[in-house]
Amino acid sequence: MARKKSQQLTDTEQQIMQILWDKGEASVKDITEILSQEKATAYTTVQTMCKIIAEKGYADFRKEGRAFIYSPKITQSEARQGALKALLNRFFGGSPEILAQHLIKETDLDLQDLEALQDKIDAAKE
């Protein structure tokens, strides 16, 4: 049985989206050059990844001559919101409270971080 395709971004797709959010739009060639600064990346690999990102609904594209120009279809904030919702549903039963408790217990939040969180909680109550 084939595995269900994920609507969430993989690490490489996330890197490509970050480039699109930073630049506003970019060709496959531009994206390949940026990604290759850290690790050699094939043009055809980026081309395939961009196509997948567009199929998932994260980006749009247009053709300029022979080049494909990609641009973000959703904002970074919207992508974060979707990823957080998926994380909440998958690991925390859809409960933000359980996630918050987990973060407080499992991370190295210092007193200043906790006070800042409490300030935001207090402001949300008003």
Residue 126 predicted with pLDDT over 90 = no
Residues 94-119 have pLDDT tens digits of: 998 898 888 888 888 888 888 888 89
Q: Which domain holds residue 101?
A: 93-126
Whether residue 111 sits in one domain with residue 79: no
pLDDT, position 69: 97
Whether residue 27 sits in one domain with residue 2: yes
Q: Average pLDDT of 61-65?
A: 96
Whether residue 121 sits in one domain with residue 79: no
Number of H-type helices and E-type strands within the chain: 6, 3
**Which CATH number fits the domain that encloses residue 30?**
1.10.10.10
Q: Average pLDDT of 42-47?
A: 96
Whether residue 32 sits in one domain with residue 44: yes
pLDDT, position 92: 93
Whether residue 113 sits in one domain with residue 77: no
Whether residue 103 sits in one domain with residue 85: no
pLDDT, position 48: 96
Whether residue 54 sits in one domain with residue 78: yes
Whether residue 53 sits in one domain with residue 4: yes
Of the candidates 90, 91, 46, which has an alpha carbon nearest to the alpha carbon of residue 70? 46
Whether residue 80 sits in one domain with residue 107: no
Cβ neighbour number for residue 79 with a 10 Å cutoff? 19
Confidence of residue 75 (pLDDT cuts 50, 70, 90): very high
Tokens matching residue 32 = 């390949």
Residue 11 predicted with pLDDT over 80 = yes
Whether residue 64 sits in one domain with residue 79: yes
Q: What is the DSSP string of 38-58?
A: TS---HHHHHHHHHHHHHHTS
Q: How far is it, in rounded angstroms, from Cα 23 to Cα 71?
A: 9
Q: How far is it, in rounded angstroms, from Cα 27 to Cα 70?
A: 6
When divided into structural domains, the chain yields a total of: 2
